[in-house]
Structure 1
Amino acid sequence: MSKASLMGRYGPSSATGRLLCYAMATILVLCGIIALVLYLVYRPSKPHFSVLGAAVYQLSNASSASPATAVTTSMQFTIALRNPNERASIHYDRLSAYISYRDQAITPPVPLPPLFQEKDSNLAVSPVLGGEAVPVSTEVAAGLMTDEAYGVVGMRLVMLGRLRYKSGPFRSEWYGMYVRCDMLVGLKKGVSGQVPLLGGTPDCDADI
């Protein structure tokens, strides 16, 4: 092999290329380490949700053509949101809520305003849900009447939306949020206003 060929293969341009590759690899490794450290330091915990109180202003069945009936409901729930993160605040957006009974919605989804929650703080919202007739199966309508007569109605409050975390200059992507709050409400037919939550303050399951 000629001297010129050796110089072309192992000359300055080849050495410079190898140095650039080593430098790029080193930068990528350092960026990965920095990203991992930031994630471990600022990794946010998902918020906690619980129901503090309930009020029922209307819950009635309006029979219609078989096989379905319509339920008209007006309820208000006080929901506590707990942000356990000491370094990250939370933005909530595209929120809505509704009530279900035996896995069927008995109120239409109600949009809620965006929320901002500071670090390590508590927040409470009290949406009024319902107001419109919602078609349900005859089994759901009959079950509501039976539970009202007994004085205990099992309900589920569902909250949907999205959230993201902010920690200093860092902002996370938007995450979908699905919150389920199962509760037993002490309710008898004809009663209007505040009703007891049986079994204490129910905690909610949150999928983020």
Structure 2
Amino acid sequence: MSEKSNRAPRGGRLLILSLLLFLFLAGLTALILYLVYRPSTPRFSVVAAAIYDLSNASSSSSPATALSTSMQFTLVIRNPSRRAAAFYDHLSAYVAYRGQPVTPPEPLPPVFQDPQSTVAVSPVLGGGSVPVSPDAAAGLAADQAYGIVGLRLLVVGRVRYKSGPFRGRWNGVYVRCDVLVGFKKGLAGPVPLLGEPDCDVDV
């Protein structure tokens, strides 16, 4: 009787140890797969800009202050992941000046990227008048007179990664690119980028 009772605890301990070993190995395998296939944060950079219209659109008949805008940016998207492909969807881009949107959001086509690949998009933004505060309109006039205008290009959407046999869930992506351009009133066309535009990416 005592021999059987001693056997039972030993069998139970063996089962528990086997289960713990299995869970440990499963967790270790999952960690290794995550480290091997985990994606890296994409990199965005502005490499060219053109301004076709950036002027005060206010008139004596309208007391509201507005800007007329039309501009184009060439945005390079780099996928630094060695094993993860990236798919971007529901992307849209717009431009802000002094914290205020000066172009309506422009939808961008879906983008697919293989691992360690680069894709360029060149959306044309604006094409109409956008209401802004009087301070923003006055600031633009001063910046144009000085010859340097600071703009912020924003891109929002979502991204999903495919790493080997694994397909991730959709994640929101938010990109902010601060761009200084050489621009004076009356000019139109490509403008020089001053310095290296810095893009922050949140995923």
Q: Is the 8 A contact 2:96 2:153 kept in 1?
A: yes
Question: Is 1:180 paired with 2:183?
Answer: no
Q: Distance in 2 between matches of 1:174 and 1:19?
A: 42
Query: TM-score of the superposition, structure 2-length normalised?
Result: 0.88
Q: Is the 8 A contact 2:38 2:163 kept in 1?
A: no
SS of residue matched to 2:184: coil
Q: Distance in 2 between matches of 1:19 and 1:52?
A: 63
| Sequence identity (%) | 61
Question: Is 1:46 paired with 2:41?
Answer: yes
1:60 alignment counterpart: 55
1:146 alignment counterpart: 142
Query: TM-score of the superposition, structure 1-length normalised?
Result: 0.86
Could you tell me which of 1, 11, 31 is aligned with 1:36? Answer: 31
Shift of 1:16: 7.2
Could you tell me which of 186, 189, 197 is aligned with 1:193? Answer: 189
Q: Distance in 2 between matches of 1:22 and 1:87?
A: 36
1:206 alignment counterpart: 201
Shift of 1:203: 3.1
Which structure 2 residues correspond to residues 110-125 of structure 1 after superposition, within 5 A?
110-125=106-121
Shift of 1:173: 2.1
SS of residue matched to 1:197: coil
User: Is there any run of 5+ residues in structure 2 with no aligned partner, and where?
Assistant: none
Shift of 1:11: 8.1
Q: Distance in 1 between matches of 2:22 and 2:131?
A: 60
Shift of 1:20: 5.5
Please tell me the root mean square deviation across aligned C-alpha atoms, in Å. Answer: 2.3
Q: Distance in 2 between matches of 1:161 and 1:73?
A: 23
2:167 alignment counterpart: 171
Shift of 1:17: 6.7
Q: Distance in 2 between matches of 1:191 and 1:30?
A: 65
SS of residue matched to 1:58: strand
